[in-house]
Structure 1
Amino acid sequence: MSSPVKIPFKSLLILNKQSTTPLYLQIARQLINAIQRGVLVQDSQLPGSRSLSQTLGTHRKTIIAAYEELYAQGWTKIIPNKGTFIAHQGAVKKTTPLQYNSSYLASYPEETGFHFKQRILLDKPPASVNCRLAFDDGLPDVRLAPLERLGKIYGGVLRRKTSRKHLHYASVEGNEFYRETLAYYLNSTRGLPIGKDNILTTRGVHMGIYLASSVLITPGDSIIVADLSYYIANMIFQQAGATIHAVPLDSQGISIDAVRSLCEQTAIRMVYITPHHHYPTTVTLSAERRLELLNLSNQYGFIILEDDYDYDFHYSSSPLLPLASADTSGMVVYIGSFCKTLAPGLRSGYLVAPKNLISEIGRFRRIVDRQGDMLMEQALGELLTEGEIHRHLKKAIKTYEQRCQLLSTLFRQELAPYVSFKTPPGGLALWSLWDKKLNLMRISKNCLKQGLNVPHTLLYQNELTTAMRLGFGSLNATELTEAIHILRNAVERS
């Protein structure tokens, strides 16, 4: 059996007395780590508690507690009159030379030791950049959200004895009370004649698209999207094995003639649309084309996946009702969320469809998310019931409309020679077309040097298009003014 003298325990065990982890656990865990990595092999003898306490400069009782923890977990064995030894742990594969230092033991592999499929379509998100100012692709201003009221309601939910039922497993479709109030809200605001059984709660729009695609799409299915379309939705469709067909887009929305032509050539499984404010161009699908698309869906049997991510935000006139409100054949799957209405971090979305599909997607959802956040859904349901979301939207829409008008004015005043655009009738982003001679990536880098982040996901530049989608909702008047001033300087430098 190995002598403890051969192993330099002082360099092997590094204690952090400022840590909240007790010293005895720090010692035990580092010794376990050493055993797992083959630094301490079977039958190696550990120093006596008095000897190790002197080596580490700690109390002997700390060492005794650490040894007791090791023994309780089965890492050591005690031989009477001889000492404490490393127990048999099976063969340890030594792929690197053993090093008796804490940095070796604390390190974690940078790469796996096995191969796996790496998908190009699941690209890394843009790196987080810490800037004073940033444009996004149309997010709300969380400073306007009724978080104080939501917090009080959520706290009340937690304190109630009747809320204990929400701490257990429940319906996979989501909180029943929330789905009932949400059904009423969607009926009154979007004309959807639905009940709670037509709703599945999700963690936002992306999860709704993923669940619907996973259940409804099989590899090889053909899907129609607009050219341009929401890149994350396209990734989800590709992940499901779909073949994507892009159709032209104009000021009235997607080309129905192009959709009809594709249907005549091949079997189309699904058409994905963002009809209220098309992503990224913000155009609204006209009423005439909505009816034509519904008729084509009935004729050719394709599903309409309606992503209504920002329906609540409209300024100049009442919004067109969703396609789902006019669907009498069960061909539309409707997806929405409160992530734009309240705050992106409150991951609360919903999927609306006929009962049989909700039941099937609910069973699939159980694999990735058992039932959602029942407590938060209860709080959101109460927020809806007392009308707080209606009041919040009434105030927020006025603020966002003012910011939209300000951004349009600033564009005309400071960027007129370089850009053309139309003030959007709603939503939280402005679509702008730029001089084709400009290099948008260079402009973005110049902005970053001046404290303004314009992520590359907002830039659209190819042979046919030079455009930016700039979200204005999260910036107040002062911030918008400064951001456009920086943008103008960056353009001029480019």
Structure 2
Amino acid sequence: MIPYKTIIEIDRANKQPVYIQLTNQFIDLIKKQILPPKTKLPGSRTLSDLIGVHRKTVIACYEELTLQGWIESVPQKGTFVHKDIPMLQQQKWAEKKVTRDSNETGFDFKRNTLLDRKLPQDYTNDYMYVNDGVSDDRLAPTKELAVIYRKITNKKNTLKYINYGTTYGNPELRDTLVGYLNDTRGLNITRDNILIIRGSQMGMYLTSQLLIENQDYIIVGETNYSSADTTFEFAKAKLLRVKVDENGLDTAAIEKLCKKYTIKTVYTTPHHHHPTTVTLSAQRRMHLLNLAKTYRFAILEDDYDYDFHYNHAPILPLASHDKHGNVVYIGSICKTVAPVYRVGYLIASKDFVDACAKLRRFIDRQGDAILELTFSNFIKEGSLDRHIKKVVRIYKERRDLFCDLLKQEMSGYISFEIPKGGMALWVTLNKKYSWDTVTEMAKQQKLIISEWQRYDMGNIKHNAIRIGFSCYNEVEAREFVRRFKKTMEAIDAKESFS
């Protein structure tokens, strides 16, 4: 006799309906073989008396168990655990009891170490992080965007955007970006040339999947954006690295490689090279475009930090000079406004945009049409331009202060060039020190430096990392430099003592 009265517990405070609680407990008893196949269950009156619930609750439970296939009713005989339920493999009593580890699967799957990253653990709010150069979220126009979003959602014709839509992105945003990018980037595109994406990384992934086959060659800088390297290697590309100097990628070295290998793609961040912040010179821009035409490779141009320039007007992208359909141009609004707004664009010839849209369908059916419509209005109202002007002024002041502080306090430890734009410095550590040592010692000053190795994917031992300045106000910048200096002084003191 099964002791239903003691093994079934009903929690009256639980928001889950009582008959569902009862159902789930019966399922658990069946799975554990406490109620094996063909076991006869008590009648609804009997069970309701035993466990103290209404008979209708038991009936509802039995109906649910029947619908799910756990039990079956045999006319004039009663209700039984279904005779054909396969039992889960049970552990033998002789075996040592092993607790299920929810961190490990019971099946094999592909693991790719390329995707592994040693991200920093969470620390309390009084820690400071060395970042890659990110926008200050306190400056994000969230209220203005919220007002536009509310206006859009209150309109009846917005309902058409709530259902499934085009994989190309919201048509209104595509049209708005066509005008905006033609005006600000010197492009000459139509709606057919633009795909709305979630950000530059999605554009990079789509492009690499369509361009690269196993062991195809792609050229990147000897210093390069590490996520781009990983994306290309994940697509099974072979990376060929060329030198990056004060004029950007060495296009003469690219030409030599083109004569030796069949190159599929050259990846570049020409406006502010990531990570070194240098700008690709006009001569090298034209040389690279000519090489692409001659050797029929794609140029994947990442519009990184385009809007943040302090010493001169922004240099027009390679895409604005492309006459032969060799450039795939990717960028995002999220870097300019705030990372949470996942809105970006991919610009290319129509046939390539169409192919990207087809592939996008199977990894991300479509974007957020309402958010995209919000940004369309945000741009058309001139709000994006006003926001850019505001933050450029603020970030320039922060760059100048940050550089002054580092020169005053850290000149014996580091060296750097003042960047003409962007949101970060390329900082070289004095060769007598290593970032490994600095990283460990910095933790004592509540300063976190994570993954510094990703700035040297080519393993050229340049001893430099990016240090972002744009997210620090004056007080925070001074505190950052104070902690950095304390770290270096602690290293000196330790070495002197030893």
> Do these two structures clear the TM 0.5 threshold for a shared fold by scoring above it?
yes
Post-superposition shift, 1:125? 5.2
Q: How far off its partner does 1:83 sit? A: 5.5
Query: 5 Å matches for 1:59-70?
Result: 65-70=60-65
Look up the match of 1:204: 199
- Determine if the alignment matches structure 1 residue 147 to structure 2 residue 142: yes
Structure 2: distance between partners of 1:69 and 1:31:
11
User: Residue deviations 1:295-319, cap 9 Å, x none?
Assistant: 1111111110001121111111111
1:282-293 equivalences under 5 Å are 282-293=277-288
Q: Please, which runs of 5 or more residues in structure 1 have no aligned partner?
A: none
Of 307-316 and 459-468, the range deviating more from structure 2: 459-468
In 2, Cα distance between the equivalents of 1:403 and 1:40?
70
Which AA in structure 1 matches 2:228? A
Q: Which of 468, 471, 486 in structure 2 is aligned with 1:489?
A: 486
What is the CA–CA distance in structure 1 between the aligned matches of 2:42 and 2:467, rounded to whole Å?
Answer: 65
CA contact (8 A) 2:195 2:346 kept: yes
Aligned to 1:117: 110
Say whether residues 1:472 and 2:469 are aligned partners.
yes
Aligned-partner SS, 2:272 = coil
Q: CA deviation at 1:52?
A: 6.7
Relative to structure 1, the CA distance from residue 207 to residue 254 in structure 2 (aligned partners, 3 Å threshold; closer, same or farther) is same
CA distance in 2, matches of 1:407, 1:57: 71
Distance 1:428 1:30 in 2: 57
Which of residues 62, 69, 76 is equivalent to 2:71?
Answer: 76
Q: Does 1:183 align with 2:174?
A: no
In terms of mean alpha carbon deviation, does 368-377 or 241-250 score higher?
A: 368-377
Q: Which aligned pairs between 1:209-288 and structure 2 lie closer than 5 A? A: 209-288=204-283
Q: How far did 1:449 drift? A: 3.6
Contact 2:70 2:85 in 1 (8 A): no
Cα 1:300/1:88, change in 2 over 3 Å = same
Is the alpha carbon distance of 1:71 and 1:430 closer, same or farther for their aligned partners in structure 2, counting shifts above 3 Å? same
Q: Aligned-pair distance for 1:70?
A: 2.3
Rounded to whole Å, the distance in 2 between the matches of 1:385 and 1:172 is 22
Please say if 1:126 is aligned against 2:123.
no
> For the residues of structure 2 that align with 1:9 and 1:121, how far apart are their CA atoms?
55
In structure 2, runs of 5+ residues without a counterpart are 492-498
Secondary structure of the structure 2 residue equivalent to 1:347? coil
**TM-aligned CA deviation for residue 384 of structure 1:** 0.7
Q: SS at 1:121's partner residue?
A: helix
CA distance in 2, matches of 1:276, 1:9: 74
Alpha-carbon shift at residue 46 of structure 1 (Å) = 4.9
Superposed counterparts of 1:58-457, under 5 Å: 65-79=60-74, 84-88=79-83, 90-94=85-89, 96-97=91-92, 109-124=102-117, 126-132=119-125, 133-457=128-452
Are the structure 2 counterparts of residues 50 and 389 from structure 1 closer, same or farther at C-alpha, using a change threshold of 3 Å? farther
Distance in 2 separating the partners of 1:351 and 1:316: 27
Q: Given that residues 458 and 470 in structure 1 are in contact (C-alpha distance below 8 angstroms), is that contact kept between their aligned partners in structure 2? A: no
Shift of the 69–477 alpha-carbon distance from structure 1 to 2, 3 Å rule, reads: farther
- The code of the aligned residue for 2:123 comes to N
Distance 1:14 1:280 in 2: 60
Quick check: 108-117 or 359-368, which moved more? 108-117
Of 2, 5, 9 in structure 2, the residue corresponding to residue 4 of structure 1 is 2
Distance in 1 between the 2:260 and 2:179 partners? 41
Cα displacement string for residues 135-187 of structure 1 (whole angstroms, at most 9, x for unaligned residues): 22111111111111111111222221111111222222111110000111111
Distance change (3 Å), C-alpha of 1:412 and 1:158: same
After superposition, the Cα gap between the structure-2 partners of 1:113 and 1:163, relative to the gap in structure 1 and judged at 3 Å, is: same
Q: Deviations over 1:278-336 (max 9, x none)?
A: 11111111111111111111111111000112111111111110000001111100000
CA contact (8 A) 2:224 2:455 kept: no
RMSD over aligned CA atoms reads 2.8
Name the CA distance, whole Å, in 2 between partners of 1:188 and 1:486: 44
**Distance in 2, Cα, partners of 1:404 & 1:14:** 64
- 8 Å CA contact 1:131–1:452 kept in 2: the answer is no
Q: Which piece of structure 1 moves more, 375-384 or 84-93?
A: 84-93
- Cα distance in 2 for partners of 1:38, 1:476 equals 64
Structure 1, residues 6-39: CA drift from partner, whole Å, max 9, x if none? xx8856x676666554454344335435545666
Stretch moving more, 409-418 or 381-390 = 409-418
Paired residue type of 1:199: I
Report how many aligned residue pairs link the two structures: 484
Instruction: Please name the residue that 1:42 is paired with.
Output: 37
Q: Deviations over 1:348-394 (max 9, x none)?
A: 11100011111121111111122221111111101111111111111
Instruction: Give the stretch that moved more between structures: 213-222 or 110-119.
Output: 110-119
Deviation at 1:246, TM superposition (A): 0.5
Letter in 1 for 2:474: A
Whole-Å separation in 2 of the counterparts to 1:33 and 1:211: 45
1:337 is displaced (CA, Å) by: 0.3
Q: TM-score, normalised by structure 2?
A: 0.89
SS at match of 2:115: coil
